[in-house]
């Protein structure tokens, strides 16, 4: 691995006012895949800068691009840690397979990421609700307008000190159930973390924002009956004391926070069901006073309470529009494990330095 350090480090932002994804650290990791040179080349850590890409670069036309989201933390003793990073690279390789892209040597890339994190450790914020967001990305870099899998690729990791994903922090979000547009269909790329999935979601997101909602809750593409996910989060509902989340069906992203939340809740004695959840069931539960809580899970969103879900003009106000007890328990537990406030009994937290 080759390391070139910046000669002009940037001034750090106010870690108390970070927002999400607005600032980037001094360095990044890059690695090219060149088919004619035998595949993946040497990993380099270089100063954060622009890429030079020809306008014909294939990702700029046909979106052959995938990414991940992970977080690094600094605990009270100053140890730098990451949360379940192995799961991110497992998922990235699955996304790569789905998008006809080359697999990464996860161990080699994680080791190199740790070197990058050591260099950037002063960029890790420690204020409550903050972290250093890790964004590994891979793009097709052939220079061609032909539609086929690229031969060459660029893999890179950039780092961004972040606060809460939603501008209003932990205040419960208002979510709009989208009954026309579709995010992903079975056989499509819904369970891959690929760029196109997010582009697809923009139109409905914009329309929902205009109506005063924070996010769109997607339905299954075939019957428009079952809830799937919220683009940036997997969804959970507490119905009559039971935690229910849409089962992974091929068009839902297999969230790492989702998986962790299920384990933490089960360990704490909650009943958790992974199954199909219809809008009709939510409406009925709400009418019966049994839709106790709703929340989303995601790396960026962490555990995010949902205070209102609206379907075809019908509002479901959840827990009086406030954060519920199970949501609060989970937020505390997950962020506590991630930041070292609670003991990690599962080997999810790995020390970097």
Q: Which residues bind ligand COI (CB under 6 A)?
A: 69, 232, 298-301
Residue with tokens 């260099």: 119
- Measured from the CB of residue 231, what is the shortest distance to ligand COI in angstroms? 6
- Measured from the CB of residue 104, what is the shortest distance to ligand COI in angstroms? 17
Residue of closest CB approach to ligand COI: 69
Q: E strands of 166-256, at which residues? A: 173-177, 215-217, 229-230, 233-239, 242-246
- Measured from the CB of residue 91, what is the shortest distance to ligand COI in angstroms? 11
Contact yes or no for 331/341 (Cβ under 8 A): no
- Measured from the CB of residue 266, what is the shortest distance to ligand COI in angstroms? 22
Name the residue nearer to ligand COI (CB basis): 70 or 337.
70
Name the residue nearer to ligand COI (CB basis): 299 or 319.
299
Contact yes or no for 150/64 (Cβ under 8 A): yes
Name the residue nearer to ligand COI (CB basis): 40 or 166.
166
Contact yes or no for 170/156 (Cβ under 8 A): no
Name the residue nearer to ligand COI (CB basis): 232 or 327.
232
CA separation for the pair 74, 60 (Å, rounded): 36
**Alpha-carbon torsion, ordered 165, 171, 172, 173, to 10 deg:** -50
Name the residue nearer to ligand COI (CB basis): 162 or 285.
162
- Measured from the CB of residue 56, what is the shortest distance to ligand COI in angstroms? 27
- Measured from the CB of residue 256, what is the shortest distance to ligand COI in angstroms? 9
CA separation for the pair 45, 47 (Å, rounded): 7
CA separation for the pair 42, 52 (Å, rounded): 18
CA separation for the pair 234, 334 (Å, rounded): 15
Name the residue nearer to ligand COI (CB basis): 304 or 319.
304
Contact yes or no for 138/192 (Cβ under 8 A): no
- Measured from the CB of residue 223, what is the shortest distance to ligand COI in angstroms? 26
Contacts of 352 (CB under 8 A, 6+ apart): 72, 79, 80, 81, 82, 114, 117, 118
Which one-letter DSSP state was computed for residue 198?
H
Name the residue nearer to ligand COI (CB basis): 189 or 319.
189
Which one-letter DSSP state was computed for residue 13?
P
Name the residue nearer to ligand COI (CB basis): 68 or 292.
68
The candidate with the shortest Cα–Cα distance to 309, out of 297, 322, 318, 319, is 318
Name the residue nearer to ligand COI (CB basis): 165 or 311.
165
CA separation for the pair 308, 331 (Å, rounded): 19
- Measured from the CB of residue 52, what is the shortest distance to ligand COI in angstroms? 26
């Amino acid at each position: 691995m080759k390391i070139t350090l910046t000669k002009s480090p940037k001034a750090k932002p106010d870690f108390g006012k970070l927002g999400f994804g607005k600032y980037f650290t001094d360095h990044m990791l890059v690695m090219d895949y060149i088919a004619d040179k035998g595949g993946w080349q040497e990993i380099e850590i270089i100063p954060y800068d622009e890429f030079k890409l020809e306008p014909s670069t294939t990702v700029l036309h046909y979106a052959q691009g995938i990414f991940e989201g992970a977080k690094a933390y600094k605990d009270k003793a100053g140890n730098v840690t990451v949360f379940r990073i192995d799961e991110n690279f497992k998922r990235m390789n699955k996304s790569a397979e789905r998008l006809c892209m080359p697999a990464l040597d996860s161990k080699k890339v994680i080791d190199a990421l740790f070197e990058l994190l050591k260099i950037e450790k002063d960029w890790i914020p420690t204020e409550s609700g903050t972290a250093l967001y890790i964004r590994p990305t891979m793009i097709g870099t052939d220079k061609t307008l032909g539609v086929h899998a690229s031969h060459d690729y660029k893999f890179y990791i950039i780092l961004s000190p972040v606060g809460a994903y939603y501008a209003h922090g932990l205040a419960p979000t208002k979510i709009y159930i989208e009954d026309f547009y579709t995010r992903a269909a079975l056989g499509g790329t819904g369970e891959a973390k690929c760029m196109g999935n997010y582009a697809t979601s923009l139109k409905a997101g914009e329309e929902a924002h205009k109506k005063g909602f924070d996010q769109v809750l997607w339905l299954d593409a075939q019957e428009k009956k079952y809830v799937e996910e919220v683009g940036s989060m997997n969804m959970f509902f507490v119905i009559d004391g039971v935690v229910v989340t849409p089962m992974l069906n091929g068009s839902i992203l297999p969230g790492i926070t989702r998986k962790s939340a299920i384990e933490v809740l089960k360990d704490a004695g909650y009943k958790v069901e992974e199954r199909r959840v219809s809008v009709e069931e939510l409406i009925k539960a709400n009418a019966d006073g049994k839709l106790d809580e709703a929340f989303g899970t995601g790396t960026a969103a962490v555990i995010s309470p949902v205070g209102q879900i609206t379907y075809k003009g019908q509002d479901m106000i959840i827990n009086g529009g406030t954060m519920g007890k199970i949501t609060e328990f989970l937020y505390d537990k997950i962020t506590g494990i991630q930041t070292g406030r609670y003991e990690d009994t599962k080997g999810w937290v790995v020390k970097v330095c």
